[in-house]
Amino acid sequence: MQPSRTQRWRLSLALSCVAAVAVTAVRGVTPAVGAVQEPPTVLHRVTDTSAVSFSRDVAPIIQKNCQLCHSPSGIGPMPLLTYEHARRDGPLIKQMVQSREMPPYQYDTHIGIQDLQHDWRLSEQDIATLVQWVDGGMPEGDPADMPPAPKLPNPAEYRMAAEYGPPDLIIKSAKYTVPASGQDRWWRPSVPSGITTDRCIKAVETKPSIAGRSVTHHANSIFVPASSEREPDAVGGGGPGSVRLSEYALGKIGEVVPADACRIAPAGSNVLFDIHYFPNGTQIVDDQLEIGIWFHGREVTPETHYRQTLSLYALQSGSGDFEIEPHGTLVTQGFHRFNNPVRIDSWQPHGHLRLVAKRLEVLLPNGRRETLSMVSNWNPGWHHSHVYAENAAPLLPAGSVIINTAWYDNTEKNFYNPDPDQWVGVGDRTTDEMSHAWIAVTQLDEAAYQRLLAQRAKK
């Protein structure tokens, strides 16, 4: 039975409090624009479906891809730790993996760049195995074939610590009490960073509290001069001397900066938080959000490495305002021209409950237009930063234009839509809509661009 629109919306919000896997580092330089990929090959399914057993074939897939969330300390709605658990929910598992709603990584498999860092998507072979197991009656097989149970991480710890060790610096927001009910709340404290020398960030993770994960919709952060007045716009970042630190939204872990790039953490700065809380029925007293930062070595400086910027790129040209009529749909499109060569390191689409799809394209100076990335099954509970892998990240010449397109659905067909009878406009509330993407860009000059092209040609 298909879940109702309300059930799927609630499930999305329930699942959206934390992401599920650790982030790995992005290393080295990457080549030019990725061409559109062919659809993945669908593997031939064996005739004897009973040959697939839980203990030998299914358990390793579930352990690797599902148990972090589907465990007593995880955020999944049911555990998937044993054969009995999986057999009970076998038909639902089949439905969710075939539709690619689980694992929750919304990124098309048939268009754009397919080589990504920390890609959660199941392989076609894994999907075929799970489907064959359910179709074959979900046999347990020989319990002796079961792999050892994995050690699940502590949800209170930094996920990226598994890759980098403890953060070099932890910055905490001022405390805020989130009421049990009411409208969306915004908390914008400014706290000293404690940074005494300009440093280059290697990785950054925003970590809500355990209780706060279910109510923290997003948390943006920027470095601002300690002597300045509090910035009025922590989303856009604007203001002299400000530098974007990070962006967090439901379902995201963190960000990794390529080894040849520097995202600057300036000395003598404050960190301005922009935290969006959405009350969910339980009061959270003195909630506090943390940002963990890992630095490159001190030999890596803004003078020795290309500068990477994380910026909000609009998906609506002109005023940026729009309205979606009740039971209506909408398409928006925005453009940005780069006056210097750049490398696109990551793409993170953003939207709320009426968004259904997003696409990132590039129009090259020679007139060629290519799709870089596409999400056709947007889930508002999971905001992934899609990090392009080595030998896949787009390297764009000066004069390139990126094209951001978004599709919205305010009808009954959108399962995440809480009320199709409402007009929906641009705004910060969860029930409003937004139209932008966060894109990490390494800024290059012509000499650096040509040097990277030459390095890429040797690979």
Is 107 a domain residue?
Answer: yes
CB 239 within 8 A of CB 424: no
Query: Residues 407-450: pLDDT tens digits?
Result: 999 999 999 999 999 999 988 888 888 888 999 999 999 999 99
Q: How far is CA 299 from CA 136, 199, 304, 442, in A?
A: 58, 10, 8, 19
Which residue carries 């439905």 as its tokens?
A: 95
Q: Under a CB-based contact definition with an 8 Å cutoff, are residues 106 and 379 in contact?
A: yes
Report the C-alpha gap between 61 and 40 in whole angstroms: 19
Residue 47 lies in a domain: yes
Is there a domain that residue 239 lies in? no
Report d(CA 293, CA 207) in Å as an integer. 11
In the DSSP assignment, the letter for residue 38 is P
Residue 320, pLDDT score: 65
Structure tokens at 199: 């440093």
Q: How many Å apart are CA 441 and CA 452, to the nearest integer?
A: 15
The continuous run of DSSP H or E covering 84 comes out as helix 83-88
Kindly report, residue by residue over 156-213, the tens digit of the pLDDT: 889 889 889 999 999 999 999 999 999 989 999 999 999 999 999 999 999 999 888 8
Q: How many domains does the chain have?
A: 1
**Residues of the chain where predicted confidence (pLDDT) is lower than 50:** 1-49, 231-232, 234-236, 238
Residue 18 domain flag:
yes
Question: How far is residue 272's CA from residue 368's CA, in Å, rounded to a whole number?
Answer: 40
If you search the block for the tokens 């999400």, which residue do you land on? 375
Cα–chain center distance at 62:
21
Q: What pLDDT score does 40 carry?
A: 38
**Does any domain span residue 298?**
no
Q: Is residue 430 part of a domain?
A: no
Q: 241-254: string of b/e by CB count within 10 Å (b at 16+)?
A: ebbbbbbbbbbbbb
> d(Cα 23, Cα 30) in Å, to the nearest integer?
18
Residue 318, number of CB atoms within 10 A of its CB: 9
- The one-letter amino acid code at 106 reads Q
Q: Are strands 243-249 and 216-225 parallel, antiparallel or unpaired?
A: antiparallel
Q: Which of 149, 2, 163 is nearest to 62 (CA)?
A: 149
Report which secondary-structure segment, H or E, holds 450: helix 446-457
pTM of the shown model: 0.79
Residue 18's pLDDT is 31
Residue 397, domain member (yes or no): no
| Residue 406 Rama label (left phi>0; alpha psi -120 to 50; beta) | beta
Phi-psi region of 214 (alpha: psi -120 to 50; beta: other; left: phi over 0): alpha
What is the residue range of 128's domain? 12-145
Q: How does 22-49 read in b/e, with b if 16+ C-beta sit within 10 Å?
A: bbebbeebbbbbbeeeeeeeeeeeeeee
**What are phi and psi for residue 350, nearest 5 degrees?**
-135, 140
Could you tell me the CA-to-CA distances from 276 to 232, 243, 247, 435, 438 in Å, in that order?
15, 20, 12, 17, 17
In a domain, 407, yes or no: no
